[in-house]
Structure 1
Amino acid sequence: MSDFIQSVAEATQHMRALFGETPLQRNDYLSRKYGADIWLKREDLTPVRSYKIRGAFNFISAAIKKVDKTAVFVCASAGNHAQGFAYVCRHFGRKGVVFMPVTTPQQKIDKTRAFGGEFIEIRLVGDIFDQCYAASQDYAKAQGGVMVPPFDHMGIITGQASVAQEIARQLPQGLVPELMLLPVGGGGLAAGVTLYVQALGWPTEFRFIEPQGAPSLKRSLEAGKRIRLESVDNFVDGAAVGELGAENFKILKAYPETWVINVPENRLCGTMTEMLNVEGVVLEPAGALAIDALKDLPKEEIAGKTIVLVVSGGNFDFERLPDVKERALRYEGLKKYFVFRFPQRPGALRMFLDLLGPDDDIARFEYLKKSARNFGSVLIGIETKDARNFAVLDKKFKEAGWSYQDITDNQVLADFII
């Protein structure tokens, strides 16, 4: 294990030519809120606003020594891995080809191109990542290119472990974390950090945080082998991985499945909004995973403990902010959607509005169709300041004889008409 510590130390030292260490900050707000000593490792403050640059740098710096100067580096990614890859290719002055799905938002394409400059070529292939990844592999094979994996390689794992090396150096003298919260997608970061902490001999426990819609580590630990998920929710795009890396699972399979926390996507949105409003910290969904998981830890079990959280990324497209706020309100019970059978007569709307309380607001009102000559189906979105107000409204609606359906938690209907 001492060999691993040495390898990580060398990787970290070499990275300093590219970027300085990210800060480890004690967060007073979260510490007070949860009654613990909470520290944030701010990987959202790397040059590409995520930790992915570490693994890409370590892999490419090693590969350069083994391949011809004309060799092309290749990756498939629509997110943080592509940006870290591009930044490193420019640093070394080596050509890199990034394969992205055709559906990749223009903002991500532009950022990757900006980080890589003249050294990066971007190819848009396929509607989904699997098609894009297959095309990248075919290209690398045909051109003799070097594939740079996002997480499933020991070189990547060693690079990501530099996060732990910095944490160990930055903590106050003699302070050892009793608990570390690590976001998990493909598992490269979690594998590297746990391996390094184990090598140090710290008695630290871990919690591995995944989005509820992409529980690849949880399912794999339950089954005792890697499980490929049939489908994933892509909202937490930085951690929505269908299958954990093979090398990563070899390391993480030593931990109990009870150490995995699956975070609801809509609840996560509340944490993103909270950190933006209270702390002024911009986080992408994956970057907020570890912070959100604090809500699942019994306060009596973490009281007074030193806890380190890895904030994995801050590449947030503010065009997504309305959706994030919407999801947070729905999770907190402050916004609901209804389909009402609305009578087509004068005064009906006024009668409906009179039922609303002073803290209730109509956020959406839309006729879907006239289901009969005298009635129409209306989509109504209502926001309120206190979730308990909806119980009052429900009673008023029933007493007034309104026919309606609450579709807030009906995902099929909500996705179709909201």
Structure 2
Amino acid sequence: MGSAPPNSLQFTKPWIETPCLYSAALSKTAGCNIFLKLENHQPSGSFKSRGIGNLMVRAAAKASELSGGQASVHFYCSSGGNAGLACATAARGLGSPATIVVPTSTSPYMIAKLREICDDVRVHGANWAAADQYLREEVMTKTVSGVVPEVVTPVYVPPFDHPDIWDGAASLVEEVSRQLPAGVHPDAFVCSVGGGGLLCGLMQGMEQVYGKEAAHATKMLAVETAGAESLMASVEAGKLVTLPGISSIATSLGCIRVAEQAYQWYRQRPKAVVPVVVSDAAAVDAIVHFLDDTRMLVEPACGAALAPLYTKASPESDVSLLRQSLGAGMSDVAWAEHNVVMVVCGGSNISLDILAGFRERFGV
């Protein structure tokens, strides 16, 4: 329970290099080459370890440098769950305390997981935006005003909207470039979108690793669930918009407003960034099929990214949403040579009991 003993700043990489595996079973289902980037193997259970951890390590190093090695750090994170777990996990590695605020929509199961590794977990607000406002304006304000000694540096850890987070997420692309078979170039990535931190990291990583020309040519299938589609709503409106609320069960995707940088990537690369919205039922159905195919259990936020593989483009169509979105107009031969990297972002808000409830609710 709580923070681990101090570990100095030698803790510099709070994420691991995860496998990127070719899946024969999913390739047969898709009709193209499917590679799975297994971010569910990260220390916190999701890709959030990359970006959140990167921000925290950099912040701790900066605080130490500015104080001549005298300052300690207290991290403050608002989250739907997975960012909080990444924050708490990295905080333990750094030997620093953390305060996590989650909204009331966060499941008791996830809250219990957070409290296993963090002493200060608070529940406030109907959605992430409300939890974040409470953290910044109430919790951190009172702390900075004198509750905590001056030698403690308070560090705000946003769940997705920060350049350090995008830098950490970009490391995923560098790994993929080394892990794919020689001569294989990713034609597309598929990722879930909540606040858009992963999308920003992937787009940034593509430019850094493959160059701007390749980044233009490589598609990013950005998948949201209905009821949490802040990116699609902005695309349709032609401007950044705020949703009135979140109704999706994929609470880890529950951001009423996508990061401005995520929307700007769409504006700059409208042919590369392909927004797609799937139903909660499709996300749950994908969880079930993915579990059968790979023996890996992921949460609905991750099921969203997997859903285009298993979901038909329309009730009348035999074509998958994946092929319609990434390979429309391609011949079967051309599509068969397409290389698609699906980011299995993971997530800890799932158990067999929770999945059983979802299956009963949606009839899948």
Q: Same fold (TM over 0.5)?
A: yes
CA pair 286-158 structure 1, distance change in 2 beyond 3 A: same
Task: Looking at secondary structure, tell me which structure has more strand per residue.
Answer: 1
CA separation in 1, counterparts of 2:102 and 2:205? 32
| Aligned 8 A contact 1:269 1:327 in 2 | no
Q: What does residue 83 of structure 1 align with?
A: 85
RMSD: 2.2
Q: Say if 1:100 and 1:123, in contact at 8 Å, map to a contact too.
A: yes
Report deviation, 1:132: 2.3
Shift of 1:253: 2.6
Q: 1:274 to 1:15 in 2, by over 3 A?
A: farther
Q: TM-score of the superposition, structure 2-length normalised?
A: 0.80
2:279 paired with 1:280? no
Deviations 1:316-356 (A, max 9, x none): 133322232124536xxxxxxxxxxxxxxxxxxxxxxxxxx
Match of 1:375 in 2: none
DSSP 3-state at the match of 1:209: strand
Question: Aligned partners of 1:111, 1:264: CA distance in 2, in Å?
Answer: 27
The whole-number CA distance in structure 2 between the counterparts of 1:125 and 1:206 is 34
Deviation by residue 1:230-265 (Cα, 9 ceiling, x = unmatched): 122230112122100123333333232881111111
Extract unaligned runs of 5+ from structure 2.
Answer: 1-9, 145-153, 310-319
AA paired with 1:265?
A: D
Contact 2:40 2:298 in 1 (8 A): yes
Q: Identity of aligned pairs, percent?
A: 28
Match of 1:373 in 2: none
2:198 match? 189
Please give the residue correspondences for 1:235-254 in structure 2 after superposition, counting only pairs within 5 Å: 235-254=249-268
Question: In structure 1, how many angstroms separate the alpha carbons of the residues matched to 2:62 and 2:15?
Answer: 24
Cα shift at 1:33: 1.3
Count of residues paired in the alignment:
314
Distance 1:212 1:185 in 2: 11
Match of 2:156 in 1: 147
- Residues 1:319 and 2:353 aligned together: yes
Structure 1: gaps (5+ residues):
1-13, 331-418
Match of 1:387 in 2: none
In structure 2, what is the equivalent of residue 352 of structure 1?
Answer: none
Choose the corresponding residue for 1:29, options 25, 29, 40.
25
1:329 aligns with: 363
Take 2:358 and 2:95, find their aligned partners in 1: how far apart are those partners? 38
Deviations 1:53-101 (A, max 9, x none): 1111111111112335234210112410000000011110111111123
1:101 partnered with 2:103: yes
TM-score normalized with structure 1 length? 0.70
Per the alignment, residue 158 of structure 1 pairs with 167
- Structure 1 residues 105 and 264, CA gap change in structure 2 (3 angstroms): closer
SS in 1 for 2:16: coil
Say which of 263, 278, 281 aligns to 1:266. Answer: 281
Q: Does structure 1 residue 123 correspond to structure 2 residue 122?
A: yes
Runs of 4+ in 1 over 6 A off after TM superposition: none
Please tell me whether Structure 1 or Structure 2 has the larger radius of gyration of its CA atoms.
1
- Structure 2 counterpart of 1:189, which letter? L
What's the counterpart of residue 304 of structure 2? Answer: 289
Alpha-carbon distance change, 19 to 150 in structure 1, aligned in 2, over 3 angstroms: closer
Going from structure 1 to structure 2, the CA distance change for 1:16 and 1:174 (only over 3 Å counts) comes to farther
Q: Does structure 2 retain, via aligned residues, the 8 Å contact 1:183–1:208?
A: yes
- Corresponding letter in the other structure for 2:295: G
Is this contact kept in 1: 2:18–2:39, CA < 8 A?
Answer: yes
Q: Secondary structure at the match of 2:37?
A: strand
CA–CA separation in structure 1 for the residues paired with 2:131 and 2:234: 25
Structure 2 vs 1, CA of residues 104 and 288 (structure 1 numbering), >3 Å: closer, same or farther? closer
Distance in 1, matches of 2:80 and 2:233, equals: 25
State the match for 1:92 in structure 2.
94
Residue identity opposite 2:304 in structure 1: L
Distance 1:166 1:37, change over 3 A: same
2:254 and 2:194 map into 1 onto residues whose CA distance is 6
Q: Residues of 2 paired with 1:20 and 1:198: CA distance?
A: 22
Residues 11, 57 of structure 2: 8 Å contact kept: no
Looking at structure 2, the residues matched to 47 and 178 of structure 1 have their Cα atoms a distance apart, in angstroms, of: 28
Classify 1:320/1:87 alpha carbon distance in 2 versus 1 (closer, same or farther; 3 Å): same
Query: Structure 1 stretch 151-160 or stretch 302-311: which is displaced more?
Result: 302-311
